Structure 1
């Protein structure tokens, strides 16, 4: 494995290991309270493993191949012994795979087992991203004293509930993940997934939507069907919400997130809860989407600095509690908290003629566009979680040329404008139908007139045929709009397939079959002062 070890070292930009000679004990049997047995592998240096800190990863995606090479080996070569466990019902572990719903009980049982093993030293670090991060949050308020640190990345304590909002269903993420895990243990699963991407994308257009999984893979996905049947605020998903436990966490936590990650709002909420409770917590947010090598590099670095130091009873390298990559400036900056102080909210108003300015609006007629769910406004870049789909900042020129997208733009900036914190918009809106969505996107327009997305958000409305103020929560951001650039706001009624298209009928999302086009209006006058609210620091 020397070649693979060197390759991963180079990809993750790691220092040389203390050893490349590892031993792997496979198929360790970990009993659960209900009699199920979960399987785990233990990686450790062939020599000198006794007493080393243990890193625990609980994962539903298997334990071998690139999982072991990229996530486990780097830690086992650099000071840890690593236990990687397949979650219930996956890759040989007993019980049924009921995604996310068993991680608290199974996680607590696993911790109890680990600390009793003869090879266990004196300390344990919880590690991993996405689902693996949620597995940490699920147990974090009831940890044994041997756990010294948590390092969750691109994850949150109320995992996936942002996907399932009644007023903004994240179709792409739930559908793709449901299809992925339904077929992940078949022979050649990765190749099948790559070859099936085009069919999978076509399936997202299926009506009714509860037939889309069958269209993509010939059978149902239980997880996707549950997502269609139950909104985030129903009792069915309450077992996934551990957000009220966060303030009770006492171990140090280092969270790694991305400005274009789908879990970012919840991850920042978790960090704020730790801050408010006076816990030892640090946060790193980079210019990354959910699937990004930058996340892996940073998380591995935190495991080797923050995690190992706490496991050894030492202090990690000194740094500020919050480290953010400020896009536009292209630089890392340190702050004392999230959101950082010194960024008061400033309103930029939508004005007639497609202008955007701090000045309040004058009398003006509303702007209009027609939204047709049969030809939905597409998702372009931004917060995406799909293999083969470009996420992050992309050129929005073609999107903004569509007749169903309105834009409002400032004059050329005469100085830099720095925006760091929570972003929202208030859009006075009316539709010809009672059911409609409002999608808002903040963009940076460069000297060449190219528009690149910074952050965005969507809210669904009922009673949309009456004029009302739609409050849209955009993704948080850290961005510097440079002198000579312009700030732009897009307003439309969708971003498909990131969000499910609104059929305009009020039918349940899983069974809707009728698509109705709608005429939408956006108001910007003294009685209806539509605006985007940005946290701005004066430079």
Structure 2
């Protein structure tokens, strides 16, 4: 019995003895040899197959999912993508070679043990490759289980709000480098983490940015340079955009995400697209950062229930299941987003935040942003262990961060759905960012992030109405707590600093500071819009 089965209470009624075939060779369509590990239950004839395709290696002792599935009666083919863990060819970041999927499917169909029923499963990159797999028609494909992975790579990972995700991009470069140089061994990868945070922090400040990979790893990383050198909307990103494949996804799709995952907004867009394409979609969103929901009791049991239903004819969970942070409870809904009232909370002079609009004249709030000392961030949607809810008081004490806070709440306030901020701003520099973060402040003064968002501007203007889309939320602000909005011009390194010069991102070397005004008078009513549950206070 696997460790996961025991820990999470998902013991099968009959635990099958697991057999393993190592280093199975699979020819890609272009002749490149891909390696895989085949797990299968002893004594079963052509059971359903679960396909996992990964760049992160095979046989990691911490990865118990293939054995767990095999003891439940499924076959598992765990494949290493080209250029990784012994597979031939060259790894190219998030550009997936279509020859891998074409060759794998042709090879599978020729195997006498393949029973013509296929599922796919995986988190992050292992979920992203499932969207690429849908570039072709696969009649055997019955269910896809996708966790923390979007159909399109650029919008919310690489350039959210038009801002290059420097910290996340380099964090992933560092993660992959540790795997490649550590031979995918856990001990050597853990050893590589010593001093990793310090090296990453230094690398994010490299100028020009295209040299940050060399500062971090000691050598050039081609695909990182492609990311930094191609802005949002450029043709390069078409090779990482698989949204058009939605009509070829299998009949059943399980989507799992986390409120602090950088892929969540795109995943929720995928949810809507899959429903529109006639797919049966189960959506689960928990209180997690990226990749942390896979091995949880709620995440694992929900995904297994959908898998068993699709391949074994059992009853499946339907609709949407969300964890409401602040309240500490799961809720079930028919769809996302639920019915809600987009309700404004207005910024006031002196740092106030209120449901009522300021009815007079007031001078704007002011701060100065200096890219040589970029405004930092803590927690949130970052790559690595520092993601999630964190105490923001040290950041909020900086002179380049404004805060607007309600009085202590007289009743609970629950908000579930999309979040946005409208700021009326003026700057002496056309090349600026605006970052907005929503926090929950407890009676002791601890300010914990709930969600945030950013936008980059490059057009001159006087007073501008700026719309910032924040990550979606499901949160309850408890009575006695306060709602706080942070406003600044950076959240480095999660969102790479704006140099302020307008030079090309990859090659620019200059830095220019900027002065900012945030207006909150009767004619310029800056506001936070929260999706209040109908009838909520």
What TM-score, normalized by structure 2, do the two folds share? 0.94
Distance in 1 (alpha carbons) for counterparts of 2:464 and 2:336: 31
Q: 1:144 aligns with which of 138, 150, 162?
A: 138
Deviation at 1:62, TM superposition (A): 0.8
Which residue is equivalent to 1:194? 193
DSSP-derived class of the 1:169 partner: coil
1:416 is aligned to 2:412: yes
Deviation at 1:209, TM superposition (A): 1.6
Q: Which moved more, 1:484-493 or 1:171-180?
A: 171-180
Q: 1:127–1:162: structure 2 CA closer, same or farther, 3 Å change rule?
A: same
DSSP-derived class of the 2:494 partner: coil
Which residue is equivalent to 2:323? 325
Does the 8 Å CA contact 2:123/2:291 hold for their aligned counterparts? Answer: no
DSSP-derived class of the 2:315 partner: coil
Distance in 1 (alpha carbons) for counterparts of 2:471 and 2:114: 41
Distance in 2 (alpha carbons) for counterparts of 1:108 and 1:356: 55
Q: 1:111 aligns with which of 101, 105, 128?
A: 105
Q: 1:293–1:284: structure 2 CA closer, same or farther, 3 Å change rule?
A: closer
Which residue is equivalent to 1:374? 372
Does the 8 Å CA contact 2:141/2:250 hold for their aligned counterparts? Answer: no
Which residue is equivalent to 1:214? 214
Which residue is equivalent to 1:268? 268
Q: 1:202-260 CA distances to partner (integer Å, 9 max, x unpaired)?
A: 22222222222111221111121111111231111102111132245341001000000
Which residue is equivalent to 2:342? 345
Note the 1:104-183 alignment, pairs <5 A: 104-140=98-134, 142-165=136-159, 167-183=162-178
Which residue is equivalent to 1:291? 291
Q: 1:365–1:248: structure 2 CA closer, same or farther, 3 Å change rule?
A: farther
Deviation at 1:41, TM superposition (A): 1.1
Q: 1:258-300 CA distances to partner (integer Å, 9 max, x unpaired)?
A: 0000100000000011223332111000000003155555453
Q: 1:62 aligns with which of 57, 60, 69?
A: 57
Q: Which moved more, 1:27-36 or 1:183-192?
A: 183-192
Over aligned residue pairs, what C-alpha RMSD do you find? 2.0
Q: 1:454-482 CA distances to partner (integer Å, 9 max, x unpaired)?
A: 00001111135632111111000101111
Distance in 2 (alpha carbons) for counterparts of 1:172 and 1:18: 46
Deviation at 1:11, TM superposition (A): 4.5
Q: Which moved more, 1:347-356 or 1:105-114?
A: 105-114
Distance in 2 (alpha carbons) for counterparts of 1:307 and 1:118: 23
Which residue is equivalent to 1:71? 65
Which residue is equivalent to 1:457? 453
Q: 1:162-218 CA distances to partner (integer Å, 9 max, x unpaired)?
A: 233272111111112123324522246514531240222222222222222111221
Deviation at 1:151, TM superposition (A): 0.3
DSSP-derived class of the 1:149 partner: strand
Q: 1:187–1:488: structure 2 CA closer, same or farther, 3 Å change rule?
A: closer
Which residue is equivalent to 1:519? 515
Deviation at 1:116, TM superposition (A): 2.6
Distance in 1 (alpha carbons) for counterparts of 2:169 and 2:357: 40
Does the 8 Å CA contact 1:247/1:273 hold for their aligned counterparts? Answer: no
Q: 1:393-413 CA distances to partner (integer Å, 9 max, x unpaired)?
A: 111111111111101111221
Does the 8 Å CA contact 2:308/2:314 hold for their aligned counterparts? Answer: no
Distance in 2 (alpha carbons) for counterparts of 1:324 and 1:467: 39
1:31 is aligned to 2:34: no
Note the 1:47-58 alignment, pairs <5 A: 47-58=42-53
Does the 8 Å CA contact 1:439/1:492 hold for their aligned counterparts? Answer: yes
Does the 8 Å CA contact 2:281/2:318 hold for their aligned counterparts? Answer: no
Which residue is equivalent to 1:358? 355
Does the 8 Å CA contact 1:261/1:289 hold for their aligned counterparts? Answer: yes
Q: 1:293–1:344: structure 2 CA closer, same or farther, 3 Å change rule?
A: closer
Which residue is equivalent to 2:470? 474
Distance in 2 (alpha carbons) for counterparts of 1:104 and 1:316: 34
Q: Which moved more, 1:52-61 or 1:135-144?
A: 135-144
Deviation at 1:310, TM superposition (A): 0.9
DSSP-derived class of the 2:244 partner: helix
Distance in 1 (alpha carbons) for counterparts of 2:78 and 2:155: 26
Q: Which moved more, 1:83-92 or 1:186-195?
A: 186-195
Q: 1:156–1:339: structure 2 CA closer, same or farther, 3 Å change rule?
A: same
Q: 1:153–1:109: structure 2 CA closer, same or farther, 3 Å change rule?
A: same
What TM-score, normalized by structure 1, do the two folds share? 0.93
Which residue is equivalent to 1:406? 402
Q: Which moved more, 1:514-523 or 1:494-503?
A: 514-523
DSSP-derived class of the 1:94 partner: coil
Distance in 1 (alpha carbons) for counterparts of 2:477 and 2:200: 37
DSSP-derived class of the 2:211 partner: helix
Does the 8 Å CA contact 1:434/1:464 hold for their aligned counterparts? Answer: yes
Deviation at 1:154, TM superposition (A): 0.3
DSSP-derived class of the 1:353 partner: coil
Distance in 2 (alpha carbons) for counterparts of 1:256 and 1:422: 18
1:93 is aligned to 2:87: yes
Distance in 2 (alpha carbons) for counterparts of 1:226 and 1:295: 33
Distance in 2 (alpha carbons) for counterparts of 1:218 and 1:35: 32
Q: Which moved more, 1:134-143 or 1:499-508?
A: 134-143
Q: 1:366-413 CA distances to partner (integer Å, 9 max, x unpaired)?
A: 100111111111111111112xx4211111111111111101111221
Which residue is equivalent to 2:228? 228
Distance in 2 (alpha carbons) for counterparts of 1:488 and 1:82: 47
Q: Which moved more, 1:174-183 or 1:153-162?
A: 174-183
Number of aligned positions between the proteins: 528
Distance in 1 (alpha carbons) for counterparts of 2:259 and 2:461: 34
Distance in 1 (alpha carbons) for counterparts of 2:182 and 2:378: 33
Distance in 2 (alpha carbons) for counterparts of 1:337 and 1:290: 22
